Structure 1
């Protein structure tokens, strides 16, 4: 252990978790008041009146809302419960029944390193093994923001974690659990090449990592063994693209065949997956698309972490979202990419032990039903990817420093630009989601922020109002930015309505009969609730100098997913939407370029 690590372990990775403050549970009154304020800009006068009436009913003494909130208060006070959101998160992520491939998993495209494919892949494995060795010793120092320690619990799900499909609710197989106490003791990864799967032991029998030279030789052996792709319908990874209940049924059929239990166990306990592609994407956007929904049997989308390395050495990561948020993956990838692979090897104690020998992972698919499912899953997901439109937007002359120099919060600046571009592209504003990290709380994850405030609405109107002069537009922009920052701070403080009210609805679904609330409260059918959560834009940020692009799929049939990397001197955006919305998405991209320039000019000194 080096000196810096020795200093860091004085405060170990997970040692501060129990001392973190709990996520505050808002009062029912506060959440209802905020809900009405947040949805108001999206509603007509009649819709506001209807929504207000149902909120008033929800707040009456002994109303269903009061009953559900008391149940949540009791749960929050239960021994062993870290947060009132402890049950919310599994239901939100593990309860979804559609496919998670493209719909839920997210990706990062790394900065280019100039290395050829095998060296790049071996370097990523080396860095990941070093991170795991530090994590196992709890030598990864807790992240701090503005002097406040952040929850590190998500790091327990980086290695050997796999989502397991269920008929009604998925589960997670992971270390640091009752079934698998402590860090993962697995020594292998799963390597995909041309749809074939291989087990590759990357740690020796004593747990010491193989040297980069060993790993390079092992990966070359994988590529040699996987020269010929498997027969159609035999790449089991295709099944992970299915809707969850369908995949659960297919998995049960798999387990009924001799030998498949061992094969599944090998995949599910692997430290992570590595996909070695046999092609180079045509351009950056194509690389992003392949990271988001590339398949060819070369993915196991249920795996927490999959590194993807293309034939030309470009690389990225695909992440299963149920236990991992972008902030944790950013810290992980920054640790990997911020240090040369040889230095990772030296610090982890990696040594030459002879090249690891790949072992083919084979499944018994003699059942024609399974082969048919794999083929149909492959075809359906390929079509689903084709039906998704994407594009990238890059600004080399704008970044966070530009906005700061103009006296505006960088995030508020770009969110204002998104709203203006959306108005011009579609002719109206729409519900906009922004993810706000709340890891300063015990087991904290994210909060749902809604971007369209009355001030944002006024700003967008002023920008295209012929009667509004420069001063009026500038005043409106600064007011919108100020309101945005204020709302973001509320979300960071746990004072936001959506997740609170959503969890009350989920309690009614789970426990309504026992609580005497047998019907869904009418609040959840109001125009306010439905419109506030019907995303037209779904936005999230991943600021890191080590990545080029960040991306995810859209969240509704008319939504544009907006994933952005906003750095001091660079601003890159990846957009995705269902193909019927493609023309509007491309117009949005054009209008976004125009809006960034327009707002920068508006705030320029002397304007």
Structure 2
């Protein structure tokens, strides 16, 4: 998972004059620094040590010593990575890592990898809200085509805008061994997408809806409302049978979906319909119901009815019958920071302003076309099984929303505390009280200040965190001792986050070396067993008990994703000046622990705020 708002300096002066062209700064951005093998291993030991027993740490230290020994396969693997990093055309030593990490995933991506944002509510009805979102998104797309979307600047540093190339007409294609991506701005599909349509799902049916006219002018919001009404009329008159909803197939494990997709494509009509979906600018999911509350809205945005989804598309706007809306995002090419900028642009001004900016005009009801599929008994059975399995999978995920309307960044800063550190330490204290342990914790740190920059994996638990939790649980510790431990842990947290922002983190470096061995170990003569990857340090540090990510935007209420392991609580948080909203997820089998954590978290935030306020 992706989102952190803080950004470290990369040494570029704040007075640098950056290009105003969307992609005009990409070659001028600094490169992600490649750490030395010795530095990475030293950090790895420092990072995993707080989670290990003395015996586990000793075993890990021995594995690291073997890993670093002269003649170790790791030395050859790192040398190959250095060679790759120095090649002309390489922008980042992680250029191969990211596709392997995301596209190499073999289980289902729906719920496991996709993430969502719940937008702020408006008074608009369903058709108006959907038309507004389409109008804003199309305006953004046309500005992007003209490279007129201003590059994001953070503390005087331009950020990479490359991920924006995955916003429109991107589709993840399932593969037997590894997925691929069908996306514009590539050799196979040069330049921006020329597609003029979106795909709208309603009651399990898929419809192609033109949103840009034949002469390149977008349809007006009123035209789009008329087109959406046509879709709902057709969908309502003839809902799709449960064993014909092709979108349900995108919830399958990837190799299984690849095999089914091949069978689908054998029919020319099916191939044409799939092509229409895959080339669509984005998906709009019109739901025929209104969620009962905010949590239900979040849950439906996370997984929903698979018959009314197509999880392989990069962007899916979901609009409920009452006009409530949000977005579901396929993660392989898009991180939360890029989606936040996109959402802020779409929601930051009204539809009429977007329409004026894009040159939208009244052209009549846009063409609407039902996408039809010819399905034999085997395919229908496959769809029905996928739909049932995903419904069961969604039901096996427990979720909860937690809101702090009286705590936000203003309060944390007034207490001279990093807001993110405050939140993260509250999570640690609540987790210890809920489960009795301090477990491995992941936090996503954005690194878009680098060429092709995405995120770095931060591990939150430090010796200072252990000391902080111990002090808070020590009935003999006075307030001054607890405050001192709290501030020391917060300082350590901020320092580690800065290390991650500057590319000084061990996990992805070690992980990429492991992947290089799988890809090229034989060719490099580096096939020997590397016990580091079996060591307690590697396995314990990466077994998440908490997986955390933040998405700060005034335009969203909640952000969420599924948990990452049987023991994990996913924590997606929206931390703004005046409030903190959190969406929790965990396997249903351990739901009670999540609810206990939520209650302890409420107490922890109040306790920690009062502790600093009494200073």
TM tier, smaller = over 0.9
Asked whether 1:413 is paired with 2:413, we answer: no
Asked whether 1:523 is paired with 2:523, we answer: no
Runs of 5+ unmatched residues, structure 1? 1-7
User: By how many angstroms is 1:208 displaced?
Assistant: 0.8
User: By how many angstroms is 1:261 displaced?
Assistant: 1.1
User: After superposition, what is the alpha-carbon deviation per residue over 1:50-71, rounded to whole angstroms, capped at 9, x for unaligned?
Assistant: 1001101111112111111001
What's 1:327 paired with? 337
Asked whether 1:109 is paired with 2:147, we answer: no
User: By how many angstroms is 1:519 displaced?
Assistant: 3.8
User: By how many angstroms is 1:182 displaced?
Assistant: 0.4
Asked whether 1:263 is paired with 2:273, we answer: yes
What pairs up with 1:101-500 in 2 under 5 angstroms? 101-227=110-236, 228-365=238-375, 367-500=376-509
User: By how many angstroms is 1:364 displaced?
Assistant: 1.1
User: By how many angstroms is 1:9 displaced?
Assistant: 10
Structure 2: distance between partners of 1:46 and 1:9: 52
User: After superposition, what is the alpha-carbon deviation per residue over 1:445-469, rounded to whole angstroms, capped at 9, x for unaligned?
Assistant: 0000000000001000110101111
Q: How many residues align?
A: 598
Structure 2: distance between partners of 1:479 and 1:258: 64
Secondary structure, in 3 states, of the residue corresponding to 2:552? coil
Q: Structure 2 length as normaliser, TM-score?
A: 0.96
Q: Is the 8 A contact 1:190 1:267 kept in 2?
A: yes
Q: Is the 8 A contact 1:9 1:141 kept in 2?
A: no
Secondary structure, in 3 states, of the residue corresponding to 2:308? coil
User: By how many angstroms is 1:363 displaced?
Assistant: 1.1
Q: Structure 1 length as normaliser, TM-score?
A: 0.98
User: By how many angstroms is 1:157 displaced?
Assistant: 0.5
Structure 2: distance between partners of 1:70 and 1:127: 47
Structure 2: distance between partners of 1:517 and 1:442: 29
User: After superposition, what is the alpha-carbon deviation per residue over 1:309-339, rounded to whole angstroms, capped at 9, x for unaligned?
Assistant: 0000000000000000000000000000010
Moved over 3 A (4+): none
Q: Is the 8 A contact 2:242 2:307 kept in 1?
A: no
Q: 2:78 aligns with which of 69, 76, 80?
A: 69
User: By how many angstroms is 1:231 displaced?
Assistant: 1.9
Structure 1: distance between partners of 2:454 and 2:335: 7
Q: Is the 8 A contact 1:217 1:355 kept in 2?
A: yes
User: By how many angstroms is 1:539 displaced?
Assistant: 0.1
User: By how many angstroms is 1:296 displaced?
Assistant: 4.3
What's 1:35 paired with? 44
Q: Is the 8 A contact 2:209 2:369 kept in 1?
A: yes
Secondary structure, in 3 states, of the residue corresponding to 1:185? coil
Structure 2: distance between partners of 1:296 and 1:523: 40
Q: Is the 8 A contact 1:221 1:357 kept in 2?
A: no
Runs of 5+ unmatched residues, structure 2? 1-16
Structure 1: distance between partners of 2:583 and 2:268: 44
Answer with 151-160 or 58-67: which moved more. Answer: 58-67
What pairs up with 1:25-104 in 2 under 5 angstroms? 25-104=34-113
User: After superposition, what is the alpha-carbon deviation per residue over 1:494-514, rounded to whole angstroms, capped at 9, x for unaligned?
Assistant: 000000000000001111111
Structure 2: distance between partners of 1:34 and 1:416: 21
Q: Is the 8 A contact 1:537 1:561 kept in 2?
A: yes
User: After superposition, what is the alpha-carbon deviation per residue over 1:259-317, rounded to whole angstroms, capped at 9, x for unaligned?
Assistant: 11111110000000000000000100000000001024111000000000000000000
Secondary structure, in 3 states, of the residue corresponding to 1:259? helix
Asked whether 1:546 is paired with 2:558, we answer: no
Q: Is the 8 A contact 1:258 1:364 kept in 2?
A: no
Secondary structure, in 3 states, of the residue corresponding to 1:356? coil
